[in-house]
Amino acid sequence: MAAYIIAEVEVTDPETYERYKPLVPQTLARYGGRFLVRGGAAEALEGPPPHRIVVLEFPDAAAARAWYRSAEYAPALKLRLAASRSRLVLVEGAPPG
C-alpha cells in the first residue's frame, strides 16, 4: 500500500535551504519515492496558514522509512535541519476501492 511523507517546513535560513533542495530528488529513486507536492501555493481552509508543504509518495511505509534513514539522504537531511523547522508525518494510503 502506498505511503506518504507529508512535511510542513518553515525555512529559517533560505540560503542553506536552497543548497538542500537539489540534493533530494536524486535520493528518492532508489526507494521508489517521488514528489507529489513540492512547495506549491497552499491555502489554509481551516487553521493557521501553512508554511512550505511537501508531499512524497513511496510504494509502502518501509520504503519511506528506509529513504528517511538512508545514507544517501543523510547529508541533505543535515542541511534541512540546519535551515528550517519542520514537521514530517508518515501516513499510509487508503486501500484501493
Per-residue pLDDT of the chain (97 residues; tens, 9 = 90+): 999 999 999 999 999 999 999 999 999 999 999 999 999 999 999 999 999 999 999 999 999 999 999 999 999 999 999 999 999 999 999 887 7
pLDDT for the residue numbered 80: 97
The answer to whether residue 22 sits within a structural domain is: yes
The answer to whether residue 47 sits within a structural domain is: no
**Cβ 90 vs Cβ 1: under 8 Å:** no
CB-based contacts of 95, cutoff 8 Å, min separation 6: 1
Q: Number of folded domains in the chain? A: 1
CATH number reported for the structural domain that contains residue 77 in this entry:
3.30.70.100
The answer to whether residue 16 sits within a structural domain is: yes
The answer to whether residue 60 sits within a structural domain is: yes
The answer to whether residue 84 sits within a structural domain is: yes
The answer to whether residue 10 sits within a structural domain is: yes
